[in-house]
Amino acid sequence: MNVAAKRRVIAAGLVVFALWPLVHRVLVLRYDISPWRFFGWAMYCQPKFAPEVAIYVRRGAERIPLIEAAGEPSELQRRRRDYVRRREMWGGLLAPDNLGREALRAAGDADVVEIIVRRLVIEPATSRLTAREETYTYPAAPPSSG
Amino acid sequence: MHVTTRLWIWAMRPYAAAGASKYIVAVAATGLALSALRPAFERPALTAIALILLGKIVATFPETSNHSLLEFLAVALFAFLDRRSVEEGELLLRACRWMVLIVLFWSGLQKVLYGTYFHAQFLGAFIAFKSSFAQAFGAILPVAELARLQSLPIRAGAGPFAVNSLPLVMLSNAVYLVEMVLPALLLWTRTRAAAVLAAILFTAVLQTAAREIFFGALFLNLLLLFARRGVNRRLLPLFAMLYLGLLMTRLLAPGVYFN
């Protein structure tokens, strides 16, 4: 490769390198990905707190934490810990679908499993920690007829 | 030296997913780095090291630090361009300098966009939750304000983390201002020498406070590319001592945190 071609490659690379943080900012705003990850140079802009992942079971009108409804099998605990770790980075790009399926299986006769993900951020206007919350609902499959 | 030290320290960390293969990576990178000292092997060895770093980024993505990308790009540039050719050497220097300018500017702009530095909210939160920040910045805070921050819990509604201390608020605002203004001053030949000194001082203080020693060392090396030619080479013994010190610290005092 001659010098002119190398110059073009490097110029293109630098343009991408310079514009990526803008895309990163959009991804943080839209999907709540971690400001500390994905090469956006936004470390030290928000504290890095692991999200809280709460699992609830609905049976009719009753809504109780999974741990009270069915305990929490060790496999599910492991999956929840793993999800918390990955969710901190991927934000809303990573829905807890596998965890939802596993929770439905563990809950047995639940109508619906609800997974609530809460993450703390500093709200600049109030300077206080605010919880950003997202709820995922997993209805049990209807019993097959016949 | 930077890459191999960091790989050895990475290898020494407990990290179940990689196991003993981390040591193989560290040994391979060390061998390649040593062979890169011979001009004939320099670029092939650097290419192999760049591939190792890329592999590590891919394998650990997205846990990979921003630092790792900068490290990879710096090595990749040295592998891609032949610094013995005057034209390519100049291109290499300019590419590395532009990376520094982009990283500095965006680090500052991101702080503005997130809005957590105007009233020192971010620093307040880190002083509250991280002992290293409390140690680094506690001295410029009134005792009562430090105690207030450290009593704040980690839960929704906790706060305010805005700091009631003019010196810390000024420092907080200075961080993004310096990060955004320095690139312009580094670009302009007449202000470059003073800007390099300011940037070195700024990076050393900030990265030490954050215990981001490796990122600090890498960034100092890259900043020195704005100084007169050969400064990096003259400072090589100092950097060698730093990296040796980091390695010894990890070996002898594994509980001491730095990154």
CA distance B38 to chain A (A): 23
Q: Tell me, what's the pLDDT at B136?
A: 84
Q: Tell me, what's the pLDDT at B85?
A: 93
**Residue B135 DSSP class:** H
Cis, bond preceding B44 (omega within 30 deg of 0): no
Tell me the C-alpha to C-alpha distance, in Å, between residue B223 and each of A77, A108, B102, B200.
46, 60, 12, 7
Count of Cβ atoms closer than 10 Å to residue B212 Cβ = 20
Cis, bond preceding B153 (omega within 30 deg of 0): no
Q: Tell me, what's the pLDDT at A144?
A: 60
Interchain pair A122, B125: CB under 8 A: yes
3-state secondary structure chain A: CCHHHHHHHHHHHHHHHHHHHHHHHHHHHHHCCCCCCCCCCCCCCCCCCCCEEEEEEEECCEEEEHHHHHCCCHHHHHHHHHHHHHHHHHHHHCCCHHHHHHHHHHHCCCCEEEEEEEEEEEECCCCEEEEEEEEEEEECCCCCCC
Under 8 Å CB-to-CB from A146, ≥6 apart: which residues? none
pTM of the model: 0.90
Q: Flag whether residue A51 sits within 8 Å of chain B, measured between CB atoms.
A: no
> What does residue A58 show for φ and ψ, rounded to 5 degrees?
-110, 130
Task: Please report where in the chains the tokens 């704040």 appear, as a residue.
Answer: B152
CA distance B125 to chain A (A): 7
Q: Tell me, what's the pLDDT at A143?
A: 62
pLDDT under 50 in chain B at which residues? none
Beta-bridge mates of residue A42: none
Q: Which of B105, B116, B222 to mutate to test the interface with A (most CBs of A within 10 A)?
A: B116
Token pair listed for A137: 């609902």
Q: Tell me, what's the pLDDT at B208?
A: 82
Q: Which of A9, A14, A41 sits opposite B98 (nearest CB)?
A: A14
Q: Flag whether residue A124 sits within 8 Å of chain B, measured between CB atoms.
A: yes
**Residue B251 DSSP class:** H
Q: What is the pLDDT of residues B121-160, one digit of tens each?
A: 999 999 999 888 888 888 899 999 999 999 999 999 998 9
- A–B: how many Cβ contacts below 8 A? 114
Interchain pair B110, A45: CB under 8 A: yes
Interchain pair B111, A131: CB under 8 A: no
Token pair listed for B185: 């001053």
Provide ipTM, 2 decimals: 0.89
Tens-digit pLDDT string for chain A (146 aa): 899 999 999 999 999 999 999 999 999 999 999 999 999 999 999 999 999 999 999 988 888 998 877 777 788 889 999 999 999 999 999 999 999 999 988 888 889 999 999 999 999 999 999 999 999 999 987 766 54
Q: Flag whether residue B158 sits within 8 Å of chain A, measured between CB atoms.
A: yes
CA distance B118 to chain A (A): 9
